[in-house]
Amino acid sequence: MAEENKIGLCPICSKSLPIKELVEHVDACIFFNTDDNEITKRKREPSPSKSHAKPKFQFKHKSPRDAEKQKILAPIFQRNRPSSSRKIVEETIVVEKENGSNKKKLSFSVPLAKQMQPKSLDDFFGQIKALGKDTVLRGLLGKGEIPNMILWGPPGCGKTSLSNVIHEICKKNPKQYRFKALSATDDGVKNVRTVISEAKTDMKFGKKMILFMDEIHRFNKKQQDTFLLSVEKGEITLIGATTENPSFSLNNALLSRCRVIVMEKLDCESLFSILSKATEALDIDVVDGNNPCGIINDDTRTAIEEEALQWLCDISDGDARIALSNLQVIFQHCDEKGKVIKLDDVKEQVKKSHMLYDRAGEEHYNLISAMHKSIRGSDENAALYWTTRMMVSGEDPMYIARRLVRAASEDIGNADPHALPLAIAAMQGCQMIGMPEADCLLAQCAIYLARAPKSREADSALAAAKNLIKNCQGPQPNVPMQIRNAPTKLMKDLGYGELEDGAEFTFMPPELKDVNFFK
């Protein structure tokens, strides 16, 4: 870059000046307090030739501030060695001047997802239900008030980004808040107790400790009890982040003290806004594929098609971290100046779609429930979609097959007696041939069950029988004598297998003879 395109900031008065004038300006700004037009008039006197002569300038350590000035400006005044002094100035305060504005340049030494974390609510995209303009949480954070809360959502939905926004709020109110971030994957109960001890000290000076605990579900219930008393007393404000359902993974006592903020997967519109902001920060143009605006002929610029960005959003499954990581890989690979990165280039670099799934997590149960209810509702398209979604995500085919067998009996039952044998055959076929060949068996079974006539008679009658037995008052009724087996002479003598005189024959206990489970 040409010398005239480089500017520097004076560390004293923050004035922007060309690099060639910066050293003289700092000299005058600190020690002479002169105007800019005097800088060119003043000429530095030559250094004395005698070694014992008193130097022109001396730093006298009268105060810590003077000592700080000496540390900052000592290299600047060694102008007989311009290579060192000028290099220090350029490395610390030089910014690039482009298009008449100072623009921060990002690098790939740090993950792009980390660099693009928002610092204010205005820069936070998505989560309208939790952080929309009229929501309670946005109103509280806007006023600088931070409540106890548990952030629950899938990876890449903005939990860590929201904690970064809260961190910036704490920085703006250093006398009121102090922010501390821990992770349950790296920090244990000992670290939490250390933070709580620091929080108690801060309370004496009117300062509140904000503790962000990432992956809080990795603490067991006993470890989570460490937070209870401090949250109850107000010694800390707890912000927990989890990808697991808090109802199952967190202590109920802790949940009662915190507000659960449900965060959903980001939609494509929010992801596109995030990627667009990243390209702007990287100084990369976004162009229409049909009209690249002549960027191809400019060998100093790099651009990416809008269609390519949209495709990245579509395959990221609502995960902003995945989208930004894919974008970083693409820019690192296609770093040729004057090139427009097209959709085909992106597809070549990112071949596999990211699928959110966890065999033991919340999404596991959500998808299997969706498949079962689609079969019950006779929607063959939905039944096939959810079955395929689980197979593509890597679900155990035997688990899917077992649930299909259950649906064949529970939801179809005697309305179509062939459904249960078909489901059992599909399960046995999966066991014999395995995946990927078994995918067709599961699809055929799901479609058949969805189209079959439905009858929940057996399941409903079973539930009624269970309920009757469970709610029985006193001992359970005895088996009537007339339906008991009598394999021995003693049992025959006791009346087993015989109807008592004057008694009404019934297979049910006499006190339950009028019960009907099929009404």
- pLDDT tens string 21-67: 777 777 766 654 444 444 444 444 554 444 444 444 444 444 555 55
Q: Which residue has the higher pLDDT, 410 or 32?
A: 410
Strand order in the sheet with 16-18: 16-18, 6-9, 95-98, 101-102
Same domain, 258 and 148: yes
Are 142 and 225 in the same domain? yes
431 and 486, same domain (yes or no): no
Whether residues 328 and 397 fall in one domain = no
* CATH number, position 415: 1.20.272.10
The pLDDT tens digits of the residues spanning 414-459 come to: 999 999 999 999 999 999 988 888 999 999 999 999 999 999 988 8
CATH code assigned at 221:
3.40.50.300
Which range, 88-92, 204-208, 290-294, 329-333, is most confident? 204-208
With a cut of 70, say whether residue 76 has pLDDT above it: no
Res 489: pLDDT: 82
Query: ∠ CA 215-237-133 to the nearest 5 degrees?
Result: 85
pLDDT of residue 46: 52
Parallel, antiparallel or unpaired: strands 303-305 and 177-183: unpaired
103 pLDDT above the threshold of 70? no
Sequence-distant (6+) residues with CB within 8 A of 327 are 112, 275, 278, 279, 309, 312
Strand 6-9 with 95-98, pairing: antiparallel
What's the pLDDT score for residue 427? Answer: 94
Angle CA 229–167–221, to nearest 5: 30
Q: Are residues 366 and 493 in the same domain?
A: no
- Are 142 and 256 in a shared domain? yes
Segment 340-378, tens digit of pLDDT: 888 888 887 776 555 555 555 667 788 899 999 999 999
Q: Which of 28-37, 286-295, 472-481 has the lowest mean pLDDT?
A: 28-37
Query: Is residue 144 within 8 Å of residue 113, measured between CB atoms?
Result: no
**Over the stretch 180-209, which tens digit does the pLDDT of each residue have?**
999 998 888 999 999 999 999 988 888 899
Average the pLDDT over each of 47-56, 96-105, 458-467 and give the range with the smallest value: 96-105
Residue type, 217: H
Position with higher pLDDT, 220 vs 353: 220
> Are residues 435 and 397 both part of a single domain?
yes
The whole-number average pLDDT for the span 276-298 is 70
Domain that holds residue 425: 362-455
pLDDT band at 283 (very low <50, low <70, confident <90, very high): confident
Are 261 and 254 a contacting pair, CB within 8 Å?
no
3-state secondary structure of 492: helix
Residue 88: pLDDT band by 50, 70, 90 thresholds? Answer: very low
What does the alpha-carbon distance between residue 393 and residue 317 come to, in Å, rounded to a whole number?
12
pLDDT at residue 86, rounded to an integer:
40
Q: Is residue 464 part of a domain?
A: no
- Residue finishing a domain among 429, 455, 481: 455
Residue 270 falls inside a structural domain: no
Say yes or no to pLDDT of 497 above 90: no
| Residues 247, 222 share a domain | yes
CA distances in angstroms from 407 to 368, 378, 412, 429, 477, listed in the order given: 11, 12, 7, 18, 33
Do 172 and 215 sit in the same domain of this protein? yes
**Percent of the chain whose predicted confidence (pLDDT) is above 70:** 77
pLDDT, mean of residues 371-393: 92
pLDDT at 75 over 60: no
Domain-located, residue 182: yes
Considering the domain boundaries, does residue 504 fall inside one? yes
pLDDT higher for 270 or 76? Answer: 270
Using CA atoms, how far apart are residues 69 and 73, in angstroms rounded to an integer? 6
Question: Would you call 71 helix, strand, or coil by DSSP?
Answer: helix
Contact in structure between 132 and 138 (CB atoms under 8 Å): yes
Please check whether residues 144 and 212 belong to one and the same domain: yes
Q: Which two tokens stand for residue 18?
A: 């060309």
> What pLDDT does residue 97 have?
34
Question: Looking at residue 383, what is its pLDDT?
Answer: 94
Can you tell me the distance from the alpha carbon of 88 to that of 221, in angstroms, rounded to the nearest whole number? 53
The pLDDT of residue 357: 57
Indicate whether 192 and 250 sit together in one domain: yes
Q: For 72-83, what is the mean pLDDT? A: 46
Higher local confidence (pLDDT), 336 or 488: 488
Residue 67 has a pLDDT of 53
The reported pLDDT for the residue numbered 294 is: 43
Q: Is residue 232 part of a domain?
A: yes
Give the pairing type, strands 236-242 and 259-262: unpaired
Asked whether 97 and 7 are in contact (CB, 8 A), the reply is: yes
Given a cut of 80, whether residue 386 has pLDDT beyond it is yes
Q: Are 254 and 140 contained in the same domain?
A: yes
pLDDT of residue 85: 39
* Max Cα-Cα span within the chain: 139
* Token pair of 385 as six digits: 């979609």
| pTM for the structure as a whole | 0.61
pLDDT at 477 over 80: yes
Q: Please report, in angstroms and rounded to a whole number, the separation of the first and last CA atoms in the chain.
A: 87
Percent of the chain's residues with pLDDT above 90: 29
- Structural domain total, the chain: 5
Domain assignment present for residue 466? The answer is no
